[in-house]
Amino acid sequence: MPNGTWRIVPVLGDERLPGATFDLKATDRLDVSSRVFLYDRNRSVYVISFGLSDDDESPEFLMRTYQLFRGGGGGKSKTKKPIRKRIALKVLPRARRRKLANRFYWAARRLNPPRGNKILFASEMRTGLGGNLARVHDRMIERDLDKKYKFNHSFRIPSTANKWSTLRLIYLLATSDTVLMDDYFGLLGNLTISPETKIIQLWHAGSGFKAVGYSRFGKYGSPKLSNAHRKYTYVITGSKHLVPVYAEAFGVEETAVVPTGLPRIDTFLNEEHSQKVTDDFFASYPQFRGKKIVLFAPTFRGKSISDAHYDYDRIDFEKLHEVCGEKYVVLFRMHHFISEPPPIPAEYSDRLIDFASFPDTNDLLHVTDVLVTDYSSVIYEYTLLDKPILFYAYDKDTYSVIRGFHRDYDSVAPGKICVTFDDLLKALQDEDFDLSKVEEFRRENFDYVDTNSADRVIDWLVVGDHGGRETGGQHQWLDTVPDNTAVGDQPLSDQSEE
């Protein structure tokens, strides 16, 4: 919201109705509901406060919004000059680079304008095609759409990025009609993308528990008001129940969130693929035959890829090895943001194995007998297999405050929750699992349990445009989203920090 004081006014057709009022017996809620959101490493603040107009007879309900920034200033503090120097050294060059990047973007677009057939597959968090991106890409080739459309690719991670790859990527963004990505794409936040370009976010995760994006606004590592997430034309999700969750997380309208299902589920549910994955796995690892496989796959701790970590002190490798006996083998598959491998002592490597080099986590799920995780979205696919999950949530309370959950962990987690490592070991040893919430979790997160999600993405969003219908017009995803429009006492524009 732009800075200002706002009334909430309903409009019916051309008729403007009286502004919203408030129950004077509940005025304590005005202060309770007001919020102060710190972000940008505490250098910026966004304030939303509620109050009443100065009218003794019929006070109107008011919302005040304003954004403040910390900068240099007067005063006698000796720290003021160094702070101003840091701002001069860091902020101004970044602003200039942003301006030059936008000039290059628009020059490239003028020289080589999109012609309706250029599609860019890109990621700033992966070095190659994978997950939802790979499935959409491969399915388009299976349908011979690569003969109609020109495909371009850009895959890099922060450690492989350089100025030349950045210029190439800006050029590809400028000259593409459609851009498909699968994770946070920071460069978008620095560019004024043409409204004619479709930006489709095929978010790499399903619906875990941890809050992401704007669901975390004001918490550690939360985004700024203007952010790459807000540049998306469409975001896909697995269920209409998750539309408001994804809309909040990415700071986009609910009509931009499309419940197509996740394309990577297509391959995951393919029986021939599943059988091949299983046969190939045990051919490569015959020593695991006859064992129960435990996949240890938690999410990372920290803000992002730059500080991602996991507290390995929370794992007693000696006790875990002992509990495994001849029954279990534990495969460790840490989040790809975590660079430090689990410190498994050599004497326990017969039963505890780092499986970071295995190509695909979803393929591992097919051979997994028990999944051990915490707040990761790996549970999304795994619940389709009706196998047990143990949640090792040693930091559940602090994580919920620092990182945040978008739904209640204790009531929704489709498995047994263990808050100590001894609890986890005992559950494994006793095979104390809880499958009672799996079916409900699956129902809330999957509108489609089939192998057609990639086709829906392609037909509704890539080659079609915001009116997606299945053959015969049996499904209209736009109709599933309620139109909840609030009208202020002056027009709202789509403003941002930029």
- Return mean pLDDT, the chain: 83
CATH 3.40.50.11820 segments of the chain: 112-266+451-477
Residue 318 — pLDDT band, cuts 50, 70, 90? very high
- pLDDT digits 0-9 by tens, 375-400: 888 898 899 999 999 999 998 877 77
**Portions of the chain given CATH number 3.40.50.12580:** 270-445
- Per-residue pLDDT, 86: 37
Q: Which of the four pLDDT bands, split at 50, 70 and 90, describes residue 457?
A: very high
pLDDT tens string 400-424: 766 667 677 888 889 999 999 999 9
pTM for this one? 0.72
CA distance linking residue 143 with residue 97, whole number of Å = 41
Query: What's the gap between Cα 218 and its chain centre?
Result: 17
Q: What is the pLDDT of residues 48-65, one digit of tens each?
A: 988 888 766 677 899 999
* CA atoms of 286 and 290, how far apart (whole Å): 9
Amino acid at 81: K
Give the pair of three-digit tokens for residue 237: 């999700």
pLDDT tens, residue by residue, 101-160: 999 999 999 999 999 999 999 999 888 898 899 999 999 999 999 999 999 999 998 888
Q: What CATH number does the domain located at 112-266+451-477 have?
A: 3.40.50.11820
Of 40, 35, 491, nearest in space to 227 by CA: 40
Q: What is the pLDDT of residues 176-224, one digit of tens each?
A: 999 999 988 989 989 999 999 999 999 987 666 667 777 777 666 677 7
| Architecture of domain 270-445 in this structure | 3-Layer(aba) Sandwich (3.40)
Q: Is the pLDDT of residue 488 over 50?
A: no
Asked if the model's pLDDT at residue 97 lies above 60, the reply is yes
Dihedral, 200, 202, 207, 213 alpha carbons, nearest 10: -50
Cα–Cα distances in Å, from 343 out to 106, 332, 346, 347, 441? Answer: 49, 11, 9, 12, 34
Lowest mean pLDDT: which of 34-43, 149-158, 274-283? 34-43
